[in-house]
């Protein structure tokens, strides 16, 4: 007879860790660094703190395939009683609200812990303290995979000597540093691009790199929002009704618990859907909830969800980040107005950088970001790559090989990732449309710049040619007309310089790079 039993979430992802990106030693090490850095950034910028992040990677002295990864931040810290669950229980955390964050599944940090303990059998080390706490707590812990609960190895408490707050996480995991190094280096570099307000100290066996913050301006933090009517289902309705402290009329329930629903719109919808607005919510049966959820998705007069739950970087900060990392001669960025898909708000940003230290390539260098997370893997499956490849860049005066980089950023409370690994955004029509509009908008600005450079290049070329012949012309005219040769040469140069200034080219300026 077959034996039946259940799997805990921790055991399921222990068996299927490839789903979360921990498929091999290279990808696992990259994923570990990524998850810890993103948790550190969420713990700072979301709460209005200018991030100071330290990332240290060391190789184990005894075994070459073991890597020590330590990430420290100056964030809000984790309360003493919450640390074990935050790092030792899958699907536990502070991100299960309707608000833009880097992590969405509650898996990242825990998957790093799981991979570490199944490959090295060493516990994770966590040191943390909140601003209000008077002590610093240091944990060593495992995840009990069968029960999905934390197993605490040790706990130390010590009084704070200064007003420090933040979190330090150290993991010993199996990884191939020599193979993963380039990918992790690029991840940190791109993180510095999308977070120009952060100071990141990155220390590896090869040395230390410091990315000093380029701006002290933080994007406005996202607020916690409500469900939009178009994005609900029966289970969401049941959960909300169970959470009610007291019964209430259906119209008040819609108005209080759903985004963009007022008194009039609630009554209009319920009348359209065939419900009595004064019906007590707790009197609804399952069949009523099914009918209500279906009607909420079909109703066409809901207002768009407000973007209060989102925190786009902004065109100015995106340009600062591109200048900081890419060092181009031209950069332009745009932030699109808020849009929505399936009741989920989203905002698209795009930037184009050209020239400078960008290496010429046969297609645009694409730098993808989602909720300020760099996406390095699965580029070919991402909607941004699809759009960039579909554009005829000749329209925008870009002739390949060209030193051009395209930056895309999508932020949303529910990003349409293609997998749990969070590396590629699906081609949802609404997102695809906004991305194409944004990329073409900055591409038009690039075309204006390149057109101007072409004109300036032509004017400068003519100036060089004319200057070459001015001495000979002056000598010939002076001989025929009997005037002073040097005076005539100076006059001709003055006329030339006035004409050049009219055309917008500085005198003695270097020849611009040809488009």
Cβ 315 vs Cβ 336: under 8 Å: no
Cβ 234 vs Cβ 296: under 8 Å: no
Q: What is the mean pLDDT of residues 443-461?
A: 84
- CATH number 3.30.565.10 given to 9-211: yes
The DSSP code for 361 is: B
Q: Is the pLDDT of residue 512 over 50?
A: no
Question: Which of the four pLDDT bands, split at 50, 70 and 90, describes residue 354?
Answer: very high
Confidence (pLDDT) at 420: 66
Q: Which CATH number fits domain 229-298: 1.10.8.50, 3.40.50.1000, 3.30.1300.10, 1.10.3680.10?
A: 1.10.8.50
- Give residue-wise pLDDT tens across range 230-266: 888 888 899 888 888 888 999 999 998 888 888 899 9
Least confident of 36-40, 97-101, 143-147, 495-499: 97-101
Q: Is the pLDDT of residue 505 over 60?
A: no
Distance CA 468, CA 123 (A): 75
Q: Is the pLDDT of residue 358 over 60?
A: yes
Sign of the alpha-carbon torsion through 415, 416, 422, 427: negative
Q: H-helix or E-strand containing 190?
A: helix 177-194
Q: Could you tell me the two tokens for 3?
A: 């034996």
Say which residues have a Cβ less than 8 Å from residue 165's Cβ, sequence separation at least 6: 74, 75, 76, 77, 129, 130, 131, 133
Cβ 267 vs Cβ 279: under 8 Å: no
Q: Is the pLDDT of residue 19 over 70?
A: no
Domain boundaries, the chain: 9-211, 229-298, 308-447, 449-502
Angle at CA of residue 419, ends 220 and 414, nearest 5°:
30
- CATH number 3.30.70.100 given to 308-447: no
Q: Is the pLDDT of residue 431 over 80?
A: yes
Q: Is the pLDDT of residue 410 over 80?
A: yes
What is the Cα gyration radius of the chain? 30
Q: H-helix or E-strand containing 142?
A: strand 135-144
Q: Is the pLDDT of residue 513 over 60?
A: no
The DSSP code for 501 is: H
Cβ 128 vs Cβ 166: under 8 Å: yes
Question: Which of the four pLDDT bands, split at 50, 70 and 90, describes residue 11?
Answer: confident
Question: Which whole-number Å values give the CA distances from 161 to 77, 78, 134, 165, 320, in the listed order?
Answer: 16, 18, 9, 11, 37
Question: Which of the four pLDDT bands, split at 50, 70 and 90, describes residue 514?
Answer: very low
Confidence (pLDDT) at 317: 94
Closest among 129, 139, 134, 133 to 159, alpha carbons compared = 134
Question: Which of the four pLDDT bands, split at 50, 70 and 90, describes residue 160?
Answer: confident
Distance CA 175, CA 183 (A): 13
Contacts of 211-216 with CB under 8 Å at 24 or more apart are 211/324, 213/50, 214/320, 214/321, 214/323, 214/324, 215/317, 215/320, 216/50
Residue holding tokens 């001495």? Answer: 471
Question: Which of the four pLDDT bands, split at 50, 70 and 90, describes residue 511?
Answer: very low
- Give residue-wise pLDDT tens across range 311-345: 899 999 999 999 999 999 999 999 999 888 877 88
- Give residue-wise pLDDT tens across range 364-376: 999 999 999 999 9
Q: With the CA atoms of 228, 230, 236 and 242 taken in that order, what torsion angle do they form, in degrees rounded to the nearest 10? A: 70
Taking the CB of residue 145, how many other CB atoms lie within 10 A of it?
A: 21
Confidence (pLDDT) at 186: 95
Q: Is the pLDDT of residue 496 over 90?
A: no
- Tell me the HSE value of 80 on the side-chain side, using a 13 A CA sphere: 12
Cβ 54 vs Cβ 71: under 8 Å: yes
pTM higher than 0.95: no
Say which residues have a Cβ less than 8 Å from residue 253's Cβ, sequence separation at least 6: 240, 241, 244, 281
């Amino acid at each position: 007879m077959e034996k039946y039993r259940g799997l805990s979430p921790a055991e399921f992802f222990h068996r299927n860790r490839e789903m979360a990106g921990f498929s091999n030693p290279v990808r696992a090490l990259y994923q570990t660094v990524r998850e810890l850095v993103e948790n550190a950034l969420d713990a700072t910028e979301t709460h209005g703190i200018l991030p100071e992040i330290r990332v240290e990677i060391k190789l184990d002295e005894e075994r070459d395939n073991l890597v020590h990864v330590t990430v420290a931040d100056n964030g809000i810290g984790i309360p003493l009683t919450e640390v074990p669950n935050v790092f030792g229980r899958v699907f536990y955390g502070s991100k299960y609200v309707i608000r833009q964050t880097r992590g969405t599944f509650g898996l990242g940090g825990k998957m790093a812990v799981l991979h570490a303990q199944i490959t090295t059998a060493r516990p994770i080390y966590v040191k943390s303290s909140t601003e209000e706490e008077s002590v610093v707590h240091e944990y060593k812990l495992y995840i009990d995979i069968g029960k999905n609960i934390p197993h605490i190895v040790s706990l130390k408490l010590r009084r704070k000597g200064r007003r420090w707050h933040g979190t330090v996480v150290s993991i010993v995991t199996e990884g191939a540093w020599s193979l993963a190094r380039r990918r992790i280096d690029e991840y940190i570099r791109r993180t510095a691009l999308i977070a120009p307000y952060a100071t990141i100290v990155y220390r590896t066996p090869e040395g230390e790199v410091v990315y000093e913050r380029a701006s002290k301006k933080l994007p406005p933090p996202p607020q916690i929002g409500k469900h939009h009517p178009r994005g609900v289902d029966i289970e969401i309705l049941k959960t909300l009704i169970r959470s009610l402290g007291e019964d209430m009329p259906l119209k008040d329930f819609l108005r209080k618990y759903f985004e963009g629903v007022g008194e009039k719109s609630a009554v209009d919808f319920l009348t359209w859907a065939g419900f009595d607005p004064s019906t007590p919510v707790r009197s609804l049966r399952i069949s009523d909830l099914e009918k209500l959820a279906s009607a909420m998705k079909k109703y066409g007069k809901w207002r768009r969800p407000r973007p209060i739950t989102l925190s786009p970087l902004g065109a100015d900060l995106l340009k600062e980040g591109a200048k900081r990392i890419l060092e181009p001669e031209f950069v332009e960025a745009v932030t699109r107005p808020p849009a929505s898909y399936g009741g989920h708000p989203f905002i698209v940003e795009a930037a184009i950088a050209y020239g400078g230290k960008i290496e010429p390539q046969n297609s645009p260098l694409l730098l993808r970001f989602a909720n300020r997370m760099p996406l390095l893997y699965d580029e070919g499956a991402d909607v941004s790559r699809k759009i960039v490849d579909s554009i005829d860049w000749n329209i925008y005066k870009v002739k390949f090989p060209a030193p051009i980089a395209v930056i895309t950023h999508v932020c949303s409370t529910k990003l349409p990732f293609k997998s749990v690994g969070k590396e590629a955004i699906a081609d949802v029509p609404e997102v695809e449309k906004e991305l194409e509009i944004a990329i073409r908008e900055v591409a038009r600005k690039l075309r204006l710049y390149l057109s101007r450079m072409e004109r300036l290049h032509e004017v400068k070329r003519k100036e060089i040619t004319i200057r070459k012949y001015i001495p000979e012309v002056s000598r010939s005219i002076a001989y025929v007309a009997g005037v002073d040769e040097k005076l005539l040469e100076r006059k001709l140069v003055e006329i030339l310089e006035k004409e050049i200034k009219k055309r917008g080219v500085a005198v003695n300026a270097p020849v611009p790079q040809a488009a």
